[in-house]
Structure 1
Amino acid sequence: MIKLVIRRFLPVLLIASAVAGCAQPPPVIPQTTINADQNEVRCRAVGKTARRDARPVPYSIETLALGLPVVVTCEREGFQPSTETIEPLPKPPLATALVRGARLAPMADTVPPPLVPADSPVPAGITVPMRPLLFTSPGARDRYFGRLRQQREERWQAFAVRLDTECGPYFVPPLGTAKPDADACRAAREVLAQQRADDLRRLEVERRRATFQ
């Protein structure tokens, strides 16, 4: 009796299994959306192995196909060309990644795109701030760059908070990774401070080079 039931329903089960296998969606290709903080901006993206020519933003790139890191340069009439870099998202713990040479991208998202594995190195998006060619006065210039500095400071502070959390006593590292020790955390804080200082120094150089009408 049992053999008869198996013989009768086995073809149905095999067909159902095949249909279920065919119904699985293809894997999502992780993409980064490139945007700018102004309208009518065109950006090009140059990776380690490929590039995308300038086109209006927003648009998305298959980041891994271009090869990380990806340098994004944006242009608009009346504004300086502006460049930001899409760096690979550091896998936790952040301290370990920094000690191993990870670079952080303050204007990129810190999470991968939706439907992409959480450990993907591809950020969901990046926003490139544009700098006007001319300012009406030194005060207008300083206010504008002050806003940009505050924006970047907030991003760097978020990295510092994450680092403190992952170096704290209650952090549970992901499966298969080790919690960073005190020496690694101390070294990572030094690396983070240096990257932050370099980033803000470049912004200050741009502020001093800005001209007036």
Structure 2
Amino acid sequence: MLRVWDSLEVSMLRATQTYQQLDRLLTSISTRSMYLDSVPAVLPIEVPIEQFRISSPFGIRQHPIHKQLRFHAGVDVKAAAGMVVKATAPGIVRQVGYDSGLGVFIRVQHAFGFETSYGHLSGYCVLPGQIVARSEQIGKVGRTGLATGPHLHYVIKKNGSVIDPFQFCFLLRRRLWLYNVSKEAASGNSVSDPGRSLSSKGSYPNSRN
């Protein structure tokens, strides 16, 4: 049962079940809204826009080490070893540790059923049960576990199911779009809105990887 003091936006955030529902809701909320600070709508590393690269996207891919087609439950963002990794929303650290595949990792629980994970770290500076703020440092980029080079493996879950982090990070996509607009303006080329040009998942794939 919804609490009587919950706003309409809060109630809808709690109730959304698919990426398309989230996309429609979040893009309708002002970028100045307090609710955007409660959801992981940005990336956990501050890579300059002109240097931003996703080295391995969300979805089916050929594993770089096992050389087999496997489902990739997050995105791998190219980053230098030692780069600061930050929490993408306020939350509680649920787990830190080492996994043979993910290497050193951190798992953070957020509001509205969101959870984020950060893998292949060189180390972390938080403990289970610790409350973290958005943009607070939690670790550093590394290449631990099954990794061919330093990068950040980033995962977002909603109610236990994974979401494509790049699709969901609409604030980042808007920044990329504005950057491309300014870059292409002189040549007279137009750039489509990234929030509309990218395909959306109709539902969340279930995965623990």
Same fold (TM over 0.5): no
Q: If each structure's helix is expressed as a fraction of its own residues, which one has the higher value?
A: 1
Higher strand share: 2
Relative contact order higher in (CA < 8 Å, ≥ 6 apart): 2
